[in-house]
Amino acid sequence: MDDRGRAAAGSGAVEPGYLPATDMPRFIREMMEFVDLAEGDVAAIRRSAPIVLRHAERLTAALYEHFLAFPRSARFFLREDGGVDTERLDRRKHSLGRWLRESAEVAMTPEFSYYLLSVGLSHSHRAEGSGGSVAPHLMIGAMSLAQTALAQLFEGELERAEARTAIVAWNKLLLVHLSILLLGSLPPRRLP
């Protein structure tokens, strides 16, 4: 605890600022402002949504194929005998597909911000028996994979300027999502 925290604790005063998880709509709004995710980006994401939705199944399948190719990420999807737990994998593909679809709509409701927080917590707070928590660097890597896959998709489906606009906008949105998905892995921190 720093001097300010000690003084606040001693005096019974509440420390200034807020914990992101206690006000997710504010956190997501401020992150969007910080990365300059403006109306034009929202429009670009929504315009590109049909392409993403058309390919959502293939994109999520490719992401999980990638996870299975590395022991450090595959272990979350294996049965005790070492085989792939296809049932669990199908459930995960479904949830990842839902995230992708809702992202494509740029849902900005309080419910969606808390949904993202709960998705993050379901990675950071997992029981030991089922592989333990997913390390934050795997989440960061997964977002990089998603960015690359979307960039390739847009380059193949859109004319160059529109592809660039879509990629820039999606990159901003995905990293705002990442900042939420990582909250459960970071020590709680009050923000001004």
Report in angstroms how near the CB of residue 101 gets to ligand HEM at its nearest: 11
For ligand HEM, give the closer residue by CB, 136 or 162.
Answer: 136
**Residue of the chain from 27, 89, 123, 165 that contacts ligand HEM (CB under 6 A):** 123
Residue 17's Cα: distance from chain center in Å? 24
Binding flag, residue 134, ligand HEM (CB under 6 A): yes
Phi, psi at 27, each rounded to 5° = -60, -45
Q: Which stretch binds ligand HEM (CB under 6 A): 10-18, 132-140, 153-161, 184-192?
A: 132-140
21: closest CA among 142, 105, 113? Answer: 113
Q: Which is nearer to ligand HEM, 42 or 145 (CB)?
A: 145
Stretch that binds ligand HEM, among 4-12, 22-30, 142-150, 163-171 (CB under 6 A): 142-150
Query: Which of these ranges, 39-47, 94-102, 155-163, 182-190, lies near ligand HEM under the rule CB under 6 A?
Result: 94-102
The stretch among 27-35, 49-57, 137-145, 147-155 that binds ligand HEM (CB under 6 A) is 137-145
- Count of positions (residues) in the chain: 192
Which 66-85 positions form the footprint of ligand HEM (CB under 6 A)? Answer: 67, 73, 76
- In terms of C-beta density within 10 A (0-12 exposed, 13-18 middle, 19 or more buried), how is residue 93 classed? middle
Residue-by-residue DSSP string for 100-152:
HHHHHTT--SHHHHHHHHHHHHHHHS--GGGT-PPPHHHHHHHHHHHHHHHHH
185 touches 136 (CB < 8 A): yes
Using alpha carbons only, how large is the chain's radius of gyration in Å? 19
Binding residues vs ligand HEM (CB under 6 A): 67, 73, 76, 92, 95-96, 99, 118-119, 122-123, 126, 134, 138-139, 142-143, 146
